[in-house]
Amino acid sequence: MSDSMEQIYLAIVLAPLFGAIIAGLFGKQIGRAGAHWVTNIGVAISFILSIVVFKHIVIDAAPSFNGTVYTWLVSEGIRFEIGFLVDRLTAIMLLVVTFVSLMVHIYTIGYMHDDPGYQRFFCYISLFTFSMLMLVMANNFMQLFFGWEAVGLVSYLLIGFWYKKETAIYANLKAFLVNRVGDFGFLLGIAAILMYFNSLDYAEVFQAAPTMTQLTMEIIPGSAWSVMTVICILLFIGAMGKSAQVPLHVWLPDSMEGPTPISALIHAATMVTAGIFMVARMSPMFELSETALSVVLVIGAITALFMGLLGIVQNDIKRVVAYSTLSQLGYMTVALGASAYAAGIFHLMTHAAFKALLFLGAGSVIIAMHHEQDITKMGGLKKYLPVTYWCMLIGSLALIGFPGFSGFFSKDAIIEAVHASTIPGAGFAYLCVLLGVFVTAFYSFRMFFLVFHTKERMDEHTRSHLHEPAKIVILPLIALAIPSVVAGYYIYPLLFGGYFGDAIVVSQQHDTLAKLGESYTGIFGFMAHGLLALPFWLAMAGLLSAWYLYEKRPDIPGMIKSRAAVIYNILIRKYGFDEFNDFFFAGGARGLGRLFWNIGDVKLIDGLIVNGTAKSVGWFSARIRHLQTGYLYHYAFAMIIGLVVLVVFFVNDL
């Protein structure tokens, strides 16, 4: 059995890779249809096998698998391997990744229908699926890093997929650079692990971790830092880059320059959650450092609230959803910080479904509007796009945490977990996530009303062409709407039923979910409690404010805008992160570069070393060529001088 399971694990990973290679290298030969068939089948195989794995690991309760497939190299006793760790955490990630990926693959057939880079696109998204699967199935840090970088690469390629579009190139460069910052931290973290544990294998590292708690290191001489805290914070810096936490969040809104399926797959549902997954996977280490957990909690809380606020002033439909993604990632991070890893993963799962739904819904609107993304130019689309309307409504309700929808369960669990947490910063985080609920509801329904209700603001030409997109686009929407509603009902087994077993380690004093579990009285009890609790009323308040301001009295927002111009300007400038980065980091780096270029490169290296030597060699060459006079007696003379010199130097006693 285990042998055949190993084959299945391999097949899950390799099927999308195979599809990517065929579509990428032989795209011309197999044509457009060939490309989408081969990649869709590859991902479908992965999805079906992921269900098999889920059944095997979770339902049949088989022990988790941890094995090496291939040893890449052994250097001074450290093994660099490709291996799989498939436990309950991996199983659920496999399901999420392959399901969303499959939906996006199907959707893409319709969305990218007329694009000249059709085959290339399919190659990339299949390659992404492969990379993401490598990441979640890794059993060691090296492979994790491989997957980590590979998804980053594909993300870069896909944000700049329309490589003739100036803004897309800017965005992909930005995403790449910001992620480098995070990856640098991540790599340092891995290096620290290698240094202190002398191993890259999860199992070995986790086993040895508890013995390391007392260890300290001096990075700045004189101040001893706990090794575990340093490692965890470094790893978390990696997560901040990939999962777009403040202040490394700046790339995610810009990544919306890529095609919409990518925004759904990579920049909402899967890749950006890699950081969340990674921290959950590293729970045996994070649990050992309360400082690191506090950092995670506070960063997450800031992201959850303040990025949500930015969603209120955005007019681009995709950007609104993007800021909502940032905010929701903040929620997941908060859950991690509160040691409610299961809640974080749970929210990751429900969020993957409803956020992919929202993005694909937004994509459907964009197609219908002929690639118009400005919500102030939409309105009243309900009667033209009924299916999209209902799907978006489900997605939005799930996002704001309306009782009964998936988001309600996962978000409520997080808020309650933070409430129960006692680590430093928990109070601040609780306030942030509570206010975040109002903000989420407000921007979500602001967008919803502006797009589907209110009066029609588009031009006549667009209006005459408005119609529901092709079935291939609608189908994934419906398929994603289902889990957006029902995924929440797994709350009990996932959070309180010890679902994750030993895949996630929570120390006794941090176990916030256990405290929640004590008062858990079943789904309906949870819902009933939710209806009375503060978050629900905040969400309703947000929804109603949006309705009042944009549906009922559309004149008020303009007034607020002019009255509170200062706040509005702060928000529209996104707190000045971009300006600061452009000025300080980009400008500073360019300035420094120019300085080194002028002095180091042009003057020193080019001027003195390169051209200097070339010139002096040339000069020397031009001089000594005249030794060759052409006179025979000169030549004979040279020979004799040579002989004499040799005799004088080498014949002793002469």
Partner 1 sequence: MSFEMPDFTPAIPEIFILCMACFILVADLFVSDDKRVITYLMSLATLVVAAMITINLHSTETVYTFSGTYVKDAMSDVLKLFIYLITAVVFVYSRGYLSERNLFKGEFYVLGLFGVLGMMIMVSAHNFLTIYLGLELLSLCLYALVALQRDSIFASEAAMKYFVLGAIASGLLLYGMSLLYGVAGTLDITTFSNVITANNLTGGEYSTVLALGMVMVIVGIAFKLGAVPFHMWVPDIYHGAPTAVTLYIGSVPKLAAFALIMRLLVEGLGELHAQWQDILIIMAILSMGLGNIVAIAQANIKRMLAYSTISHVGFLLLGILAGTKEGYSAAMFYTIVYTIMTVGGFGMVLLLSRAGFEADKLDDYKGLNERSPWSAIMMLILMFSMAGVPPTIGFYAKFSVIEAIINVDLIWLAAIAVIFSVIGVFYYIRIIKLMYFDKPLDTSPITSTPDMRLILSLNSLAVLALGIFPGSLLAVCVAAIT
Q: Can you give the binding site for partner 1, defined by CB under 8 A?
A: 614, 617-618, 620-622, 624-625, 627-628, 630, 632, 634-636, 638-639, 641-643, 646-647, 650-654
Rounded to a whole number of angstroms, the minimum distance from the CB of residue 645 to partner 1 is 8
Rounded to a whole number of angstroms, the minimum distance from the CB of residue 606 to partner 1 is 16
The dihedral region occupied by 595, where left means phi > 0, alpha psi between -120 and 50, and beta the remainder, is: alpha
Which residue, among 474, 470, 453, has the nearest Cα to 387 in the 3D structure?
Answer: 474
Nearer to partner 1, 559 or 638 (CB): 638
Rounded to a whole number of angstroms, the minimum distance from the CB of residue 652 to partner 1 is 7
Nearer to partner 1, 25 or 639 (CB): 639
Chain-centre distance of CA 554, in angstroms?
Answer: 36
Alpha-carbon radius of gyration of the chain = 30
Output the CA–CA distances (angstroms, integers) from residue 589 to 187, 254, 592, in the order listed.
22, 21, 5
Nearer to partner 1, 62 or 605 (CB): 605
Rounded to a whole number of angstroms, the minimum distance from the CB of residue 601 to partner 1 is 20
Nearer to partner 1, 28 or 626 (CB): 626
Nearer to partner 1, 583 or 620 (CB): 620
Nearer to partner 1, 431 or 647 (CB): 647
137 close to 393: Cβ distance less than 8 angstroms: no
Rounded to a whole number of angstroms, the minimum distance from the CB of residue 599 to partner 1 is 25
Nearer to partner 1, 224 or 614 (CB): 614
Rounded to a whole number of angstroms, the minimum distance from the CB of residue 630 to partner 1 is 7
Rounded to a whole number of angstroms, the minimum distance from the CB of residue 224 to partner 1 is 44
Question: Coil, strand or helix: which one is 308?
Answer: helix
Count of helix runs (H) and strand runs (E) in the chain: 31, 4
Nearer to partner 1, 602 or 614 (CB): 614
Chain-centre distance of CA 214, in angstroms?
Answer: 33
Nearer to partner 1, 164 or 625 (CB): 625
Nearer to partner 1, 180 or 615 (CB): 615
Dist. CA 6–CA 56, nearest whole Å: 12
Rounded to a whole number of angstroms, the minimum distance from the CB of residue 651 to partner 1 is 4
279 close to 296: Cβ distance less than 8 angstroms: yes
Label each residue of 161-191 as H, E or C: CCCCCHHHHHHHHHHHHHHHHHHHHHHHHHH
Task: State which H helix or E strand residue 639 sits in.
Answer: helix 632-650
Dist. CA 36–CA 38, nearest whole Å: 6
Question: Coil, strand or helix: which one is 394?
Answer: helix
Rounded to a whole number of angstroms, the minimum distance from the CB of residue 611 to partner 1 is 13
Dist. CA 360–CA 112, nearest whole Å: 12
Nearer to partner 1, 576 or 642 (CB): 642
Token pair 């029609």 is found at 456
Task: State which H helix or E strand residue 647 sits in.
Answer: helix 632-650
Dist. CA 207–CA 193, nearest whole Å: 13
Nearer to partner 1, 489 or 637 (CB): 637
Q: Which residues pair with residue 80 across a beta bridge?
A: 73
How many of the other CB atoms lie within 10 Å of CB of 217?
15
Which residue, among 430, 440, 429, has the nearest Cα to 402 in the 3D structure?
Answer: 440
Rounded to a whole number of angstroms, the minimum distance from the CB of residue 633 to partner 1 is 9
Rounded to a whole number of angstroms, the minimum distance from the CB of residue 308 to partner 1 is 57
Q: Which residues pair with residue 71 across a beta bridge?
A: 81
Rounded to a whole number of angstroms, the minimum distance from the CB of residue 593 to partner 1 is 28
Chain-centre distance of CA 35, in angstroms?
Answer: 26
The conformation of residue 64, written as its DSSP 8-state character, comes to P
Which residue, among 131, 147, 167, 162, has the nearest Cα to 20 in the 3D structure?
Answer: 131
